[in-house]
Amino acid sequence: MTRNGSVFKRLVPALAGAAAAAMLLTACGGSSVNQAAAADGSKAACGTVNVAMNAWVGYTANAAVYSYVAKEKLGCNVVQKDLNEQIAWQGFSSGEVDIIIENWGHEDLVKQYITDQAVAVDAGPTGNKGRIGWYVPPWLAKAHPDILDSKNLNKYASLLKTSESGGKGQLLDGDPAFVTNDEALVKNLGLDFKVVYSGSEAALIQSFRAAEKNKTPLLGYFYEPQWFLAEVPLVKVNLPKWTPGCDADPEKVACDYPDYTLNKIISKKFSDSGSPAAKLVKAFTWTNADQDSVATDIQNGMTPEAAAKKWVDAHPQQVEAWLK
């Protein structure tokens, strides 16, 4: 190496020196300020809990409140891992994720990880009801009240036409992670619309925000609970009512989306461990309003921890009931 010229000549001793110095300092680590003020170890009973953090604010609200209670009341060491849903589920089998605290259906993943591999279990509903559907901005619903019935949508196809929709009305879809039957729905309801894929939740929200602000027409896929509905109360369009089995064949579906009972999924190992944190996650339930209040606080700039503390402080009995 030394023959390789001045950079390596200079770099190698430099790095070696730096490394040696670092090691030397590490060796006398006893004096480090880090160790001197080490945290008290009295709360170690609960152990470590790995919470997957899926990327939407409602999820963050659930996770923040759970983490806050587990940390403060049970003394657990909560590790939050930012992951998307699919990878979070993968984490159950490798033991790197213990909790998914808001799950929207995902029949394929349920089959793979709960039924087939048996590495995860359903820890019961969160108490939140999920609803998927087609929404319009409030100004549009007010200006054209009959747009809220899917039978009248064709009348508005030309109004909802954009440069992206190839001469038809535009139905804007969102995050590809969400279940959608929209292409089949458009076909089977005989609508003169084209599904345009915005590609992300951010794109969908920003589109609705702009539509309300600039009073431009927009029809799009959306869902609740969602913090954005507190900012702009989108109005749901009524599709033909959902009845059990009407969406059995995804090609022929011609009815609204069912209501989702959002639930918690935890790893089998964690569930069987008897950890108080596992008990807590099984007991954790709250309402859409609860989640919205925390989510809106986060949305308005509070840290998730602060928003969770605010909610927990305001609802002592409910938290007490989870811990029983």
Partner 1 sequence: MSATLLGAEKATNTPAAPPTVPRRRLSRRALLLISAAVVWTVGFVFLHGTGTLALPTSELTDLHRSLNQFNSWVASNRDDNPVFLYLLSPLRSAVDAVAAVFTTVFAASSTGLGLPEIGWLGTVALLGWLAFAVGNARVALLTVAVFTFFGLQGLFVEAAHTFALVVTSVLLSLLVGLPLGVLAGISSRVEKIITPVLDFMQILPTFVYLAPLALVFLIGPASAVIATVIYAAPPIIRLTAHGIRGIPENTREASDSLGTTPLQRLFTLQIPMAKRTIVMGINQGTMAALSMVTIAALIAAPGLGQVVVRALQSLDVGTAVNAGLSIVLMAIVLDRVTTAASERARPATQRRRSALPRRTRMILVGATFALALVLVQLSRTMLWAARFPQEINIGPAITSGVDAASEWLQTHLFLLTGAFREAVTVAFLNPFQTAITDTPFFIMFAALALVAYAFGGWKLTALVLACLTVIVYLGLWGDAMVTLASTLVATVIVMVLGIVFGVAMGRSERFDKLMRPVLDAGQTLPAFVYLVPFLGLFGATRFTAIIAGVIYAAPAAIKIMADGISGVSPTVVEAAVASGSTPWQVITKVQLPMARKSLGLAANQGLIYVLAMVVVGALVGAGGLGYDVVAGFVQSSLFGKGLAAGLAIVFLGILLDRITQAAAFSAPSRSRSTAPSATTKEA
Instruction: Give, as ranges, the residues between 208 and 267 that touch partner 1 (CB under 8 A).
Output: 209-210, 213-214, 216, 227
What one-letter code names the amino acid at 231?
E
Listed in sequence order, the residues at least 6 apart from 29 whose beta carbon sits closer than 8 Å to its beta carbon are 35
Residue 93 in contact with partner 1, rule: CB under 8 A: yes
Find the binder of partner 1 among 47, 72, 75, 87 (CB under 8 A): 87
Find the binder of partner 1 among 101, 121, 196, 237 (CB under 8 A): 196
Residue 190 in contact with partner 1, rule: CB under 8 A: no
* Closer to partner 1 by Cβ: residue 159 or 323: 159
Q: Which segment (132-140, 202-210, 259-267, 275-283) binds partner 1 by CB under 8 A?
A: 202-210
What one-letter code names the amino acid at 282?
K
* Of 311, 158, 178, the residue nearest 257 (C-alpha): 178
| 111-130 binders of partner 1 (CB under 8 A) | 112, 116-117
- What character string, x for contact with partner 1 (CB under 8 A) and - otherwise, covers 148-187? --------------xxx-------x--xxx--x--xx---
Helix (H) or strand (E) holding 205: helix 201-214
* Closer to partner 1 by Cβ: residue 34 or 317: 34
Question: What tokens does 295 get?
Answer: 């989510």
Question: What tokens does 194 get?
Answer: 């084209």
Residue 166 phi, psi (nearest 5): 55, 45
Total of chain residues touching partner 1, rule CB under 8 A: 79
Residue 62 and residue 291 in contact, taking contact as beta carbons nearer than 8 Å: yes
Q: Which segment (86-94, 145-153, 254-262, 270-278) binds partner 1 by CB under 8 A?
A: 86-94
Residue 50 and residue 267 in contact, taking contact as beta carbons nearer than 8 Å: no
